[in-house]
């Protein structure tokens, strides 16, 4: 019996929501994450709009943009369980502290955080917070955060499709091989998300995201010979920062 396409799409979305957030959603039993991961950008809609609601609630309570931006970041971290921040910290520790490929992978697998990881998290939070504060009155926070979280999550399926796992175990390896068409669909959804910022901003942000993607992909190849779940988390964080910084450069007057 042929599968209902709408049910399949809904199942993939639920699977990705349940995997990438703390929301108790469940996808269809037996469905591979690698086949459903095209829906990762859709998770960005949920995360981004939730953060925007927190920002606007703080604004409604007459709190300053500095606090509103902190609330938005806190809510997005809570809803994802800090999944991508954890990946960024692990990559910073592994790439910065390891000498050999094997040692880098061991450090990345260690749940403890080191100096490089702490610094990476501080820089990530500071850049995102500063951008949100700067853009508080320049554009719609709902469109901004939706575009940012959609596009940054679109890069993960693409990397899984073009770069093999660096090890045989772990999140990325267990997810399975991602078909190229699945990565392409995620990339298309990511660009559609960027158009929420307008055509000019979408093109500039897409180019900047591509440059960041290629840079991190080459770095991961050189450091550990492939990608891991931590690398994918770092990629999302870098993508989020890139889109926000592009928005600052475009929407703020000189």
Residue 56 lies in a domain: yes
Question: Quick check: 170 pLDDT over 80?
Answer: no
pLDDT of residue 220: 97
Alpha carbons 130 and 128: distance in angstroms, whole number: 5
Nearest to 186 by CA among 155, 231, 228, 230: 155
Stretch 26-39: mean pLDDT: 89
Residue 222 lies in a domain: yes
Stretch 45-65: mean pLDDT: 96
Stretch 159-188: mean pLDDT: 88
pLDDT of residue 3: 64
Whether the CB-CB separation of 51 and 76 falls below 8 Å is answered with yes
Residue 221 lies in a domain: yes
pLDDT of residue 196: 96
- What mean pLDDT is reported for the chain? 93
Question: Quick check: 175 pLDDT over 80?
Answer: no
Task: Identify the band that residue 51 occupies on the pLDDT scale cut at 50, 70 and 90.
Answer: very high
Question: Quick check: 1 pLDDT over 70?
Answer: no
Task: Identify the band that residue 98 occupies on the pLDDT scale cut at 50, 70 and 90.
Answer: confident
Residue 27 lies in a domain: no
Tokens of 234: 């770092």
Number of domains in the chain: 1
Task: Identify the band that residue 30 occupies on the pLDDT scale cut at 50, 70 and 90.
Answer: confident
Range of the domain at 186: 42-251
Stretch 65-92: mean pLDDT: 97
Buried b (16+ CB within 10 A) or exposed e, 23-59: eebebeeeeebbbbbbbbbbbbbbbbbbbbbbbbebb
Question: Quick check: 153 pLDDT over 70?
Answer: yes
pLDDT of residue 133: 97
User: Do you know the residue count of the chain?
Assistant: 254
Per cent of the chain over pLDDT 70 is 98
Residue 152 lies in a domain: yes
pLDDT of residue 254: 62
DSSP secondary structure letter of residue 177: P
Which pTM value belongs to this model?
A: 0.94
Stretch 36-59: mean pLDDT: 97
pLDDT digits (tens, 9 = 90+) for 208-247: 999 999 999 999 999 999 999 999 999 999 999 999 999 9
Residue 35 lies in a domain: no
Residue 154 lies in a domain: yes
Residue 159 lies in a domain: yes
Stretch 124-141: mean pLDDT: 93
Per the model's pLDDT, the better-predicted residue between 240 and 27 turns out to be 240
pLDDT of residue 4: 79
pLDDT digits (tens, 9 = 90+) for 183-201: 999 999 999 999 999 999 9
Task: Identify the band that residue 2 occupies on the pLDDT scale cut at 50, 70 and 90.
Answer: very low
């Amino acid at each position: 019996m042929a599968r209902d396409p709408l049910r399949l799409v809904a199942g993939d979305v639920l699977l990705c929501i349940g995997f990438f957030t703390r929301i108790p959603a469940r996808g269809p039993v037996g469905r591979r994450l690698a086949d459903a991961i095209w829906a990762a950008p859709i998770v960005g809609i949920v995360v981004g709009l939730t953060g925007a609601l927190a920002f606007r609630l703080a604004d409604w309570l007459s709190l300053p943009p500095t606090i509103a931006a902190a609330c938005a970041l806190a809510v997005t971290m809570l809803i994802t369980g800090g999944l991508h921040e954890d990946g960024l910290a692990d990559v910073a520790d592994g790439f910065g502290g390891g000498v050999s490929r094997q040692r880098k992978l061991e450090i990345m697998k260690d749940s403890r955080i080191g100096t490089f990881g702490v610094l990476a998290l501080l820089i990530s939070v500071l850049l995102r917070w500063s951008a949100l504060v700067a853009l508080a009155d320049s554009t719609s926070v709902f469109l901004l955060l939706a575009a940012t979280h959609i596009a940054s999550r679109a890069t993960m399926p693409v990397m899984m499709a073009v770069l093999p796992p660096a090890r045989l175990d772990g999140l990325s390896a267990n997810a399975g091989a991602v078909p190229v068409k699945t990565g392409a669909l995620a990339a298309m959804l990511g660009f559609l998300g960027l158009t929420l910022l307008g055509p000019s901003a979408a093109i500039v942000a897409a180019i900047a995201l591509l440059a960041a993607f290629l840079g991190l992909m080459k770095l991961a190849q050189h450091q550990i010979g492939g990608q891991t779940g931590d690398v994918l988390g770092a990629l999302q964080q870098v993508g989020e920062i890139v889109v926000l910084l592009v928005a600052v450069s475009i929407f703020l007057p000189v």
